[in-house]
Amino acid sequence: MSSAENTVSHFLPAGDYSLDATLSSGQVFRWRRREEAWEGVVGNRWVRLAQTRGGLHAEAMDGDGEWQWLIGFLQVEVDLKAVQGQWPDDPPLRAAAARWPGLRLLNQRPWECLASFILSSNKQIVQIHQMVDELCRRYGVPVRAPAGAGPAHAFPAAASLAACSEADLRACGLGFRAPYLRETARRVAQAEIDLDGLRRLPVQEARRRLEGLPGVGRKIADCVLLFALDFSEVFPVDVWVEKALRRWYFAGRQPTRRCLMQFAERHFGPQGGYAQQYLFHAARLGSDRSGNDWPAGGTANNELATAVSRGFPTVQ
DNA sequence: GGTGGGCCTTGAGT
DNA sequence: AACTCAAGGCCCA
């Protein structure tokens, strides 16, 4: 029992969980690192997380003693080695798994995930943080948190954002995304689309319905399918992942974007989403300011990785 | 029917 | 102080 500020503590065993890699890997946009811990809000609960020996230390406000809301979000019970065992055995994935042990996919609530990624278009991660924070501060329900703690608002309900004017949303810095978010919020609030119900559909149909929402194209639909709707095979291709694929799997060739998508779908398999997260992390963090590429000493690795895609047509 | 380019807002980084 | 660029979507040729 923590002595501070009426919080309760819980230990989540997980030998291979990297809080730093997971919470900073661009899946979620409102976690804040404070001292040696991470603070955020899951649903309507404030929580502080810290890496400890053999697992995670969680601290929340007094509750009913149930922690499933957090266990489910963090996916601590997923067997990471088993997931990686379903990957194809290729050098970039091997190297990424070795360099970022414990990088995990989270399981987000669909509405928050969808809304956040509508805001992500053509924005850097820090800017997405700012937009989401401002939306939560203005339109999110306050949640109980220790005095002076990090974010203390739930993510705004769809109905709350649907009730905003476009100008209200632009005031949060959304720019041209404001009307997209407003209209999508309206459709969700009025049950014109059932986000949770998409889980029961074939992936192509779920994707098609998401792409029918304004501000949602293939990339953002795929993020929601993977990060919130349990479609573990979905492989979102953004600019970073596209760079990674071209560099590490198609060195010296110029595949079309469509070709890359087909290769990814075929090559990475039923746990392709997890593979994508590692490649994304590697592409984004793996090259330093001097321009050195990753994996280090990459020539041999690149040749091996390129061999993986050898014979795969780069046109059509 | 698929592809490529311009445009859309904003602010952080340089 | 400009200027570029950023986990894209949309519209058009």
List chain C nucleotides near protein: any atom < 7 Å from a Cβ.
6-10
User: What pLDDT is stored for residue A4 in this prediction?
Assistant: 52
Q: Let me know how many helices (H) and strands (E) chain A has, helices first.
A: 15, 5
The footprint of strand C (CB < 7 Å) covers A 25-27, 120-125, 127, 176, 180, 211, 214-221, 236, 238-241, 276-277, 280
Cα(A279)–Cα(A237) distance, rounded to whole angstroms?
10
Q: Which residue is nearest to nucleotide B13 (CA to C1')?
A: A124
Q: Which residues of A are catalytic?
A: 219
**C1’ C2 / CA A172, Å:** 25
Residues having Cβ less than 7 A from any atom in strand B: A 122-124, 126-127, 130, 170, 173, 175-176, 256-258, 316
Model pTM score: 0.91
CA A121, C1' C6: Å apart? Answer: 9
Q: Report whether A172 contacts A138 (CB < 8 A).
A: yes
Amino acid at A103: L
User: Could you give the CA distance from residue A45 to residue A143 in angstroms, rounded to a whole number?
Assistant: 6
Task: Provide the pLDDT for residue A303.
Answer: 46
pLDDT of residue A6: 82
Tell me the CA distances in angstroms from A23 to A44, A156, A311, one per residue in order: 18, 20, 37
Stated in angstroms, how far is A292 CA from C3 C1'?
25
For the record, the structure tokens of A241 come out as 């992942």
Shortest CA to C1' contact from A124: nucleotide: C6
Single-letter amino acid code for the residue at A49: L
The CA distance from A20 to A25, in Å, is 8
Produce one character per residue of A203-241: b if its CB has 16 or more CB atoms within 10 Å, e if not.
Answer: eeebbebbeebebbeeebbbbbbbbbbebbbbbbbbebb
Per-residue pLDDT, A255: 86
- DSSP reduced 3-state for A40: strand
Q: Which nucleotides of B are covered by protein (CB under 7 A)?
A: 2-4, 8-13
Q: Please report how many Cα atoms fall inside a 13 Å half-sphere around the Cα of residue A221, on the Cβ side.
A: 17
C11 C1' to A197 CA distance, Å: 31
Q: Which nucleotide is nearest to A29 (CA to C1')?
A: C7
What's the Å distance between residue A127 CA and nucleotide B12 C1'? 8
DSSP A196: G
Which residues of chain A fall below pLDDT 70? Answer: 1-5, 150-151, 286-316
Per-residue pLDDT at A296? 42
Query: Taking a C-beta distance cutoff of 8 angstroms, is the pair A86, A271 a contact?
Result: yes
